[in-house]
Amino acid sequence: MTTSIKKLPDTEQVLSGNGSCGGCPATMALRIVGKALGPNAIMLLTPSCAVASMGMTPKLGYNWPCINICFATAGSSAAGIAHALEIMKEKGRLQGELPTVFSWVGDGGTYDIGFQALSAAAERNDNFIHFCYNNEAYSNTGVQRSGATPRGSYTTTTPAGKRQPKKNMALLMLEHNIPYVATATVAYPGDLYDKVVKAKNIPGMKYIEILAPCYLGWQFDMSETVQMSRMAVRCGAWLLWEAENGKITFNNPTSLIISGKKDPAPVDEYLMKQGRFNRFLKGPDASQRIAEIQNDINLEIAFMRERAKIAV
Ligand code: SF4
């Protein structure tokens, strides 16, 4: 049974007065992650909105020791910290429970620039949680395309709309045979909370990717962040699933779509709510282009349905 939002702990690790935009999905997600991790954790951040939001010592917006690292090094830096803590514990220099080491990284630092170090850490099964808060672009630097940007989306480097579909990064991480992989998004806070609690108690590498609809890059009203997140799941543009030791389980409402009990909502309404698709969907080819995006979604649903039948 998924934890109700009303039952989430009152404790906060994301403090008020931080510098994120109003309605920021990444900060909402981090708040829930903080409730699940508690204070005994060490946070690593690559350059991103989360760094710009947290402020400067001694007035950090996050209630953990925070380490700013190079863009490409989330995997190697988190692995190094995790190993150092284990050695300190072995040598008796650290008492009590080991802190949870986690990297908090955008899609640029996960899908693109940080992929090599992340892949190596996954292959070694290093003991930390990598969170990717995926806002589907490099939002912090003015919205450039990333490997997570979906087909048709405007960014400053895809002014006519991106022509390629996005990668399935969570699936790529699953194929590294790590013990836990999950996807989540802010409209389903109990689902995210439960996944983080689970990941915290699993040794080895864990990967959790959170869809983070960013009003700035996606061009919608900042009061609609949660609604946009819910719409993404309902139309199948974002699938909620987790895999423990290679076994994939789908979470509601995605499980209803995968099992065929419910049809995904047509993608049109989700696309039309976002200004980033305006240019791509303008003109006489609009319906063909919507069909292309719908096809990307249908293919992913069909692929994940079949992939889930294979347990490693
Ligand atoms: S640009 Fe987007 S992701 Fe970055 S702080 Fe603002 S709302 Fe959050």
**Substitution site in 143, 185, 214, 229 for ligand 1 pocket (most atoms within 8 Å of beta carbon):** 214
- Please list, in sequence order, all residues whose beta carbon lies within 8 angstroms of the beta carbon of residue 23, skipping any fewer than 6 positions away: 215, 222, 223, 224, 225
- 236-to-55, 156, 161, 262, 302 alpha-carbon distances in Å: 36, 26, 20, 11, 11
The arithmetic mean of pLDDT across residues 233-254, rounded, is 97
Model confidence at 16, in pLDDT bands (50, 70, 90)?
confident
pLDDT recorded at residue 312: 61
Q: Mean of the per-residue pLDDT values for the chain?
A: 96
Q: Could you tell me the end-to-end alpha-carbon distance of the chain, in angstroms, rounded to an integer? A: 25
Between the CA of 113 and the centroid of ligand 1 the distance, in Å, is: 19
Between the CA of 140 and the centroid of ligand 1 the distance, in Å, is: 7
Between 88 and 19, residue with greater pLDDT: 88
User: Does the ipTM surpass 0.90?
Assistant: yes
Summarize the chain as % helix, strand, coil (round to 5).
Answer: 40, 15, 45
Least confident of 56-60, 61-65, 106-110, 129-133: 56-60
Q: Is 240 helix (H, G, I), strand (E, B) or coil?
A: coil
Q: Model's pTM, two decimal places?
A: 0.97
The answer, yes or no, to whether residue 266 has pLDDT greater than 90, is yes
**Substitution site in 20, 105, 274 for ligand 1 pocket (most atoms within 8 Å of beta carbon):** 20
Between the CA of 126 and the centroid of ligand 1 the distance, in Å, is: 29
* C-alpha torsion sign, points 76, 81, 84, 89: negative
Ligand 1: residues whose CB is within 6 Å?
A: 20-21, 24, 26, 49, 53, 135, 139-140, 214-216
| pLDDT tens-digit map of 297-311 | 999 999 999 999 997
Between the CA of 281 and the centroid of ligand 1 the distance, in Å, is: 24
Task: List helix spans (H) across the chain.
Answer: 25-37, 49-54, 74-90, 107, 115-124, 169-174, 189-200, 215-218, 225-234, 254-258, 267-272, 286-307
